[in-house]
């Protein structure tokens, strides 16, 4: 069998002791996470309020339909 098409061995770099992110970048990530959490909370609150309104409206329409029908 021809070995000319064998994959090349993977090159492994030596471990690096430097941190992946600087302290300023970590603080920025934390601030972005807080902002995303607040926005998600607002969206979920609005969706819940919308659901309650639609549920109340559909209950009222169903009640009127049953009483008048």
Alpha helices in 1-69 (DSSP H): 23-68
Number of domains composing the chain: 1
Residue 33, domain member (yes or no) = yes
Q: pLDDT (tens digit, 9 = 90+) per residue, 22-64?
A: 999 999 999 999 999 999 999 999 999 999 999 999 999 999 9
Q: What residue numbers bound the domain in which 56 lies?
A: 22-69
Residue 13, domain member (yes or no) = no
Given a contact cutoff of 8 angstroms between Cβ atoms, the answer to whether 36 and 44 are in contact is: no
Given a contact cutoff of 8 angstroms between Cβ atoms, the answer to whether 49 and 42 are in contact is: no
Q: pLDDT (tens digit, 9 = 90+) per residue, 14-24?
A: 666 888 999 99
The token pair at 21 is 């992110």
Rounded to an integer, what distance in angstroms lies between the CA atom of residue 2 and that of residue 62?
76
């Amino acid at each position: 069998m021809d070995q000319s098409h064998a994959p090349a061995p993977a090159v492994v770099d030596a471990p690096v002791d430097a941190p992946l992110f600087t302290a300023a970048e970590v603080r920025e990530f934390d601030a972005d996470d807080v902002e995303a959490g607040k926005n998600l909370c607002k969206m979920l609150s609005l969706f819940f309020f919308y659901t309650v309104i639609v549920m109340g409206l559909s209950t009222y329409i169903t009640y009127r339909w049953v009483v008048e029908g």
